[in-house]
Structure 1
Amino acid sequence: MSRMWPGVMLGGLMLTCAAVAETPAVEADRYQRLIHELRCLVCQNQSIAESNAPLAQDLREQVATQLAAGRSDDQIRDYLTDRYGDFVLYRPPFRWRTALLWLGPFLLVLVGLAVVWRQGRRVVAAPAPPDADALKRLLEEHRR
């Protein structure tokens, strides 16, 4: 996407940098920490700090605006989760709605271990060697 939107990205980056530059160094550190904690809703595998998507730029500007307004980190996270849902956070809180996100990997490992354990118990018994006396009787009956 960086090739498609160079003017938008550069302009948005300058606005974001200007908003952060007006705040003290502590605010810039908070800004960097927050934008690395928030997921890009378009890219989904990048933080809004790493993403070049226009929505990520908008989210960075919202974070800068919220910081300039004097909001706390929790207030900024709450604002964004109210607007975009828990998916915007890389570490969503443990709630009933997000329980599968937190417990899903453990459940998959448990299911995998159960399958391996069951397969291990399914040992196929080797067929018993034929009874020599029974074979002799069968051959004698067949010859008659």
Structure 2
Amino acid sequence: MKKFLVTLTLVFSPLLYAQTPAQTQTGEAASLQPPANTPGSDSVTLLDKKTKYNNNDPLFRDIAKEFRCPTCTGLSVLESDAGFSVQIKEQVQEQLNLGKNHDQIIEYFTERYGAWILREPPAKGVNVLAWAIPITLLCAGPILIWLLVWKRHVKSDTHGVRSAAVIVLEMQDSLKRLKEREIG
């Protein structure tokens, strides 16, 4: 139920906070841009007027890469332009603006959305299987295949071929039967 409410909030929040172009120029996005006459302003990355996040900040990029886009298969939030991903990116930027570090932001999103938001599951609890099974298959798979091929190869080589000990036993049995016939 909690995930459903969070999803509804994320879906409808753009409608609640939608701004007209005039509001955008005078609103929050304009206040996030540094003044043009500050020293070194040409080296400062400006925030996009349409978005509320800095896509060129290395810390922002590192964090956004770790989250999965629920609408785009196999893409991170950083790579996706879907509505949900844009909202996640804006939330990441808000957390960075509040002074939170990488681990605190990851923990915030994991508590809010669950472990499914992470592209790589944490190696704890049931998620250990998600890490252990592929590694086990990579290590044990070739050994298992080699054993199966070797077993088949051994069977095909010895099929119809008797060892010397078996031949000697069969000859001794035949001699006993012949002696019993001669005596009997």
Q: Do the two structures share a fold, i.e. TM-score over 0.5?
A: yes
1:114 maps to: 144
Following superposition, the deviation at residue 15 of structure 1 comes to 4.4
Moved over 6 A (4+): none
Task: Work out whether residues 53 and 89 of structure 2, in 8 Å CA contact, stay in contact via their aligned partners in 1.
Answer: no
Following superposition, the deviation at residue 82 of structure 1 comes to 1.2
Unpaired segments of 5 or more residues in structure 1?
1-7, 129-144
2:54 corresponds to 1:20: yes
| Higher relative contact order, structure no. (Cα contacts within 8 Å, ≥ 6 residues apart) | 1
Q: Aligned equivalents of 2:106 and 2:147: distance in 1?
A: 43
44, 48, 69: which one aligns with 2:77: 48
Q: Letter of the 1:117 partner, please give it.
A: L
Identity, % of aligned positions: 29
Whose Rg is larger?
2
127 and 37 in structure 1: CA distance in 2 versus 1, 3 angstrom threshold? same
2:101 maps to: 72
Unpaired segments of 5 or more residues in structure 2?
1-17, 19-23, 25-47, 162-184
Task: Work out whether residues 19 and 68 of structure 1, in 8 Å CA contact, stay in contact via their aligned partners in 2.
Answer: no
TM-score by length of 2: 0.51
Following superposition, the deviation at residue 107 of structure 1 comes to 2.0
Q: Letter of the 1:121 partner, please give it.
A: K
Following superposition, the deviation at residue 120 of structure 1 comes to 1.6
2:111 corresponds to 1:82: yes
Following superposition, the deviation at residue 85 of structure 1 comes to 2.0
Aligned-residue Cα RMSD (Å) equals 2.8
2:135 corresponds to 1:101: no
